[in-house]
Copies of this chain bind each other. A is one copy, B any other.
Amino acid sequence: MADTDPKGPSVLRVPEGDNRERLVCPDCGFIQYENPKIVAGAVCTWGEKILLCRRAIEPRRDYWTLPAGYLELNETTLEGAIREAWEEALAIIEIDALLSIYSIPRISQVQLFYRARLLTPEIGVGPESLEVGLFDWEEIPWDRLSFPTVRWALHHYRETRDLTDFAARTNPTGENGNY
């Protein structure tokens, strides 16, 4: 390991046989092929109530979010959504349907939200949460939600809650997920 601060892939170059610039490490020559990341999450319900978590980490620490996070290697999107509900809210869920798929190009994310049922109302605070709770629709802290996609997913859940076979919702018209 270099005794200076690691630079990592930090120089833009078009690798041989490629058609766009990639980040290359000036120390070791490693080419970093960076691709968009997948976030998997769920709107988890117990009866009429919806599971929300108050974030313990940045960005948007202290704001309320739906359990969701980066998909890991060798994981299916369903497994990712189930894992995140467990990690963030100690919730055991059953996936019911694909609710929505959002693209947030500015931060190169594709976010998938599922509709899910809590198998038990027992929930708890995971390492990335300060607080977790089950909210009636009227109780949702709309002015304290962490991200636009959380608001979208909640409204798309409300809109499709009585449907069994429906097209996954996408970004609201004209919205790109920026604040």
Q: Which residues of B contact A28 (CB under 8 A)?
A: 1-2, 6-8, 25, 27-28, 30
Decide: A38 near B8, CB < 8 A? Known: A2-B27, A28-B2, A167-B97: no
Instruction: Check B36 against A98 for contact (C-beta < 8 Å).
Output: no
The A interface is mostly helix, strand or loop, or mixed, namely: loop
Assembly of this chain: how many copies? 2
Instruction: Check A73 against B108 for contact (C-beta < 8 Å).
Output: yes
Q: Which residues of B contact A31 (CB under 8 A)?
A: 8
Q: Which residues of B contact A2 (CB under 8 A)?
A: 27-29
Closest A-B pairs by Cβ, 6 of them: A8-B30, A6-B29, A76-B103, A27-B28, A6-B28, A73-B108
